Amino acid sequence: MPCKSCGLVNRSILNGEIGIHFPGLKGIDKPVVWVFPKLVVCLERGTAEFVVPEAELRQLRKSDAAGAG
């Protein structure tokens, strides 16, 4: 499948380890959410795509809602 960014097919599927933080001062007391997704990396432009699994997505929603109030 071609890249959404550049339209070329020079992409690689790699293993990722990503710690997701909330930005700014509001984020410092929120837990880091770790995900270990397959990354689809465009080797032309460096753009990357991955899917946050449902369990981790729930953690992000919970933390985000906690910060809104």
Residues near Zn ion (CB under 5 A) are 3, 5-6, 42, 44-45
Least distance between Zn ion and beta carbon 36 (Å) = 23
Q: Which of 18, 24, 6, 22 is nearest to 52 (CA)?
A: 18
Nearest-angstrom CA–CA distance, 67 and 51:
23
- The answer to whether 36 touches 56, Cβ cutoff 8 Å, is no
Nearer to Zn ion, 49 or 56 (CB): 49
Structure token digits, residue 47: 């753009």
Nearer to Zn ion, 4 or 62 (CB): 4
Least distance between Zn ion and beta carbon 13 (Å) = 14
Least distance between Zn ion and beta carbon 12 (Å) = 11
